[in-house]
Structure 1
Amino acid sequence: MFNKLKNNKSTALYVAMISPNTQVTGDIKCDGEIQVDGIITGNLEVEHLVIGEHGTIEGNITATQVEVKGTVNGCITAQKVRLEPSAKVHGDIIHDTLSIEAGAHIEGQLKHKTDLSNVTPLEKQEQA
C-alpha cells in the first residue's frame, strides 16, 4: 500500500531545503530541487537550484536550472540561469539561457554553451 502511494507521486513535488542558520560542508548531488537559505561549502550537482536571499554557496554548481537571489562564490554551469536583483556571483557563468535583473552583481565571465560545430558561418549561408 505504501509503495503504491509513493510511486504515484512525481519527484518534482519534493524539494530539499537547507534552512537559514544551517551550514553544510561537502558535495551535494540531487536529481530534484534544492532551496538553499543557509550556507553550503562544497560543489552541487542538481536538477533545479534556488538560492534564497540569505543563501550562500561556496563551490561550483552544475544544474539544469539555477535561480540566484543570494551569493555564489564559484562557477555556475547550467542550461538556464536567472539572477535576481539581490544576486552576487563571484565566478564564471556558463549557460544556455541567462536572465540578469537590474541590481545583480557579477564578477566573472559569461560564457554561452553553444556548440560551435552546429553553427553555420554567415558566408556559407549566403552561398547556399
Structure 2
Amino acid sequence: MASVSGPSTPSILSADVTIEGNVTVNGELQLDGTIKGDVVCGELVMGEHGSVTGTVTADSATIRGNIKGEVKVRVLRVEKSAVINGDLYQESLSVEAGAKLTGRIADLSTVTRAAAKSAAE
C-alpha cells in the first residue's frame, strides 16, 4: 500500500486543476480537481467535484466524486454523491445510500495474493 509517512499538511488539488499523468503523494491528498492518470497516496479525500480516470491506490479514502478505474484502498468510505465505475479492492468498506458503484468488490488480499503469485512465477 501507499506510504502514510510524509508531510502533515495535506496536498490540495482544487476544482480548477486538471492533471494528465500519475500523481504520488506520501501523505493526504485532498482532490476537488481532475486527474487523468493513476493516484497513489496515504489518504485520499475526494470532494464531490473530484474526478480520477485511472487506478487509485491508498491506505484510506473517502470518495464523494467520480472514479473510472480500479480502486485499491485498505479502508474505503464511499459517500452518497460518489460514482465509481471499476473494481473495488478493500479490507473495510462503507457505502452510503445513493452512491453508484459499477464493478466487482473484492477483499484487498485477493490482489495481494495474485501479485505475490505473479512475482513468484
Q: Which TM-score band (shorter chain)?
A: 0.7 to 0.9
Question: What secondary structure does 2:49 align onto?
Answer: coil
Asked which structure has the greater CA Rg, the reply is 1
Deviating beyond 4 angstroms after TM superposition, the runs of 4 or more aligned structure 1 residues are none
Whichever structure has more helix as a proportion of its residues is 1
Q: 1:38 aligns with which of 33, 36, 41?
A: 33
The letter of the residue matching 2:14 is: S
Q: 2:91 aligns with which of 85, 90, 96?
A: 96
Alpha-carbon distance in structure 1 between the residues aligned to 2:19 and 2:40 = 15
Q: Which residue of 2 aligns with 1:66?
A: 61
Q: How far did 1:95 drift? A: 0.2
Q: 1:27 aligns with which of 22, 27, 33?
A: 22
Q: How far did 1:22 drift? A: 1.0
Alpha-carbon distance in structure 2 between the residues aligned to 1:29 and 1:111 = 24
Alpha-carbon distance in structure 2 between the residues aligned to 1:114 and 1:60 = 17
Question: How many aligned residue pairs are there?
Answer: 106
Alpha-carbon distance in structure 2 between the residues aligned to 1:114 and 1:39 = 29
Q: How far did 1:11 drift? A: 4.1
Q: Which residue of 1 aligns with 2:72?
A: 77
Q: How far did 1:43 drift? A: 0.2
Trace 1:37-56 onto structure 2 (pairs within 5 A).
37-56=32-51
**Residues 49-105 of structure 1, C-alpha deviation per residue, up to 9 Å, x if partnerless?**
011001100110111001100000011001100000000000000000000000000
The letter of the residue matching 2:13 is: I
Alpha-carbon distance in structure 1 between the residues aligned to 2:42 and 2:8 = 13
Question: What secondary structure does 2:16 align onto?
Answer: coil
Structure 1 residue 106 and structure 2 residue 112: aligned? no
Q: Which has the higher contact order (CA 8 A, sep 6+)?
A: 2
* Aligned-residue RMSD, C-alpha: 1.4
Unmatched tracts of structure 1, length 5 or more:
1-9, 116-128
